[in-house]
Amino acid sequence: MKRLLALLATGASVVGLTVLAGPPAQAATGCSAEYTITSQWAGGFQAGVKVTNLGDPVSDWTLGFTMPDTGQKVVQGWNATWSQSGSAVTATGVDWNRTLATGASTDLGFVGSFTGSNPAPTSFSLNGVPCTGSVTDPTDPPTDPPATGTPTDVNGQLHVCGVHLCNQYDRPIQLRGMSTHGIQWFGSCYGDASLDALADDWKSDLLRVAMYVQEDGYETDPDGFTRQVNRLVDMAEARGMYALIDFHTLTPGDPNYNLDRAKTFFSSVAARNADKKNVIYEIANEPNGVSWAAVKNYAEQVIPVIRAADPDAVVIVGTRGWSSLGVSDGSNESEVVNNPVNAANIMYAFHFYAASHKDNYRATVSRAASQLPLFVSEFGTVSATGGGAVDRASSIAWLDLLDQLKISYANWTFSDADEGSAAFKPGTCNGSDFSSSAVLTESGALLKSRISTADNFPTS
Ligand code: IDC
């Protein structure tokens, strides 16, 4: 059964269908706008607007609407350039969502304030055309009941299909989850209670296991760290979560420095976990100060080692410039598109920190997503240092974009590190409460609210 989206339709039928006979064809126009208040507090609220273009493709758009109460104001918005004059609000598309094909949607949002009441806005229009259309969501699966079971039960062995991550039914899915901090430092954060909370309360699909190679990591005790990683793979599996095994190279930035270690490590974990369906391998966290050619050379030596032991697992390859597809080094995705890694069933890592990496990075991802299979195996809501304040608007813009593109993600970090990117307040991992809101940081609360919404995994 197709879900009919809640609409602000005024009762008119679908606008934008061309009539077969009659006057000469004109550009088809029309839109629908779905407005939702996602939270509200004394004098303030957060709202989302899903805009769908029901007419001909547009390469530039402005959404207009009217605030019914004089006290209602847009304070700060995302995924568009917002302005307000009296009761009239406009939102204009930004680089990466400026073009809307027929039937395409984009999600915008804003934080607002109000003094009296806070009714829903009226008179939505797109490029001046009233949004009176209705639309069914073409991404809805044709199945009736929502899938039941854990993420790994429902999706089984994953593979790459086109630019997407696909499940056992060969349908694109998005995994949403969390990354550990360095397991050499935060082992106490990864026990039964915290992982129960991650699976049951957060409804996380995924645990990324960040095994640093340097900084007192793998190189100091290869067997011990291999055991720890395998233990976390098992703990994730027992809870129905995918496990991303992250060979967390960072400094030095050239992954070839660790090539022998990578071969030893991956031949061991791939052999040991070959029969499991929940394992994804991430072979180099963040190459930096090194060319794409060098990263590709590393990947083409490590991937065959994994394939020899575990032929069907998805492998994620880090990209140049701290896994920015080269953008942080002044390059872009074309170096990968023009010279891809010679291997099948792989994805490319894209990492971002929302307070540091904004519109030009989002534009890169929205462009690259139609050409390369991308996996956001690490991102933060804060600055690239891992600390500082949560950039809420940028984080939400990013998460909306990843949702729209069905790009999987893991947030840095499921830990109680004393830095803004950590989900838990310092000291949490010494205790037994991983579920109450009292132990969450601002970043943790935001991510938990995003990750714990129902998954929509196709089952046929
Ligand atoms: C940071 C940690 C911080 C630690 C530092 C050095 O948050 O506590 O001291 O590493 O190991 C990355 C890296 C990730 C960084 C993170 C934040 O993958 O290891 O973690 N970051 O700086 N890339 C961009 C940001």
Kindly tell me if the per-residue pLDDT of 145 is higher than 70: no
**What is the DSSP code (8-state) at residue 139?**
T
Kindly tell me if the per-residue pLDDT of 362 is higher than 70: yes
Average confidence (pLDDT) over 64-91: 94
Kindly tell me if the per-residue pLDDT of 224 is higher than 90: yes
Tens of pLDDT, residue by residue over 95-136, are: 878 889 888 888 898 888 999 899 999 999 999 989 987 655
Identify which of 185, 327, 412, 421 to mutate to test ligand 1's pocket (most ligand atoms within 8 A of the CB).
412
Q: Confirm whether 419 is a catalytic residue.
A: no
Tens of pLDDT, residue by residue over 237-259, are: 999 999 999 999 999 999 999 99
Lowest mean pLDDT segment, chosen from 23-32, 153-162, 272-281 = 23-32
Q: 355: which residues sit within 8 A by CB, 6+ positions away?
A: 380, 381, 382, 383, 384, 388, 389, 390, 391, 394
Q: Is 195 helix (H, G, I), strand (E, B) or coil?
A: helix
pLDDT at position 42: 82
Kindly tell me if the per-residue pLDDT of 141 is higher than 80: no
Q: Confirm whether 219 is a catalytic residue.
A: no
Beta strands in 163-236 (DSSP E): 164-166, 172-173, 176-179, 206-212
Q: 354 or 38, which is more confident?
A: 354
Please give the Cα distance from 340 to 299 (Å, whole number): 10
The full set of domain ranges for the chain reads 2-130, 151-451
Average confidence (pLDDT) over 417-437: 97
Percent of the chain scoring above 90 in pLDDT? 80
Distances in Å between the Cα of 64 and the Cα atoms of 67, 81, 83 are: 10, 12, 10
pLDDT at position 76: 86
Kindly tell me if the per-residue pLDDT of 435 is higher than 50: yes
Tens of pLDDT, residue by residue over 374-423, are: 999 999 999 999 999 999 999 999 999 999 999 999 999 999 999 999 99
Identify which of 378, 383, 391, 411 to mutate to test ligand 1's pocket (most ligand atoms within 8 A of the CB).
378
Task: Determine which one of 237, 286, 333, 335 is catalytic.
Answer: 286
Sheet containing strand 62-66, edge to edge, reads: 81-85, 88-92, 62-66, 122-126, 129-130
**What is the residue-averaged pLDDT of the chain?**
91
| 196 neighbors 169 (Cβ within 8 angstroms) | no
Cα–ligand 1 centroid distance for 301 (angstroms): 26
Query: Which H helix or E strand runs over 79?
Result: none
Question: Under CATH, which number does the domain 151-451 receive?
Answer: 3.20.20.80
What CATH architecture is 2-130?
Sandwich (2.60)
Please give the Cα distance from 14 to 31 (Å, whole number): 9
Please give the Cα distance from 340 to 382 (Å, whole number): 31
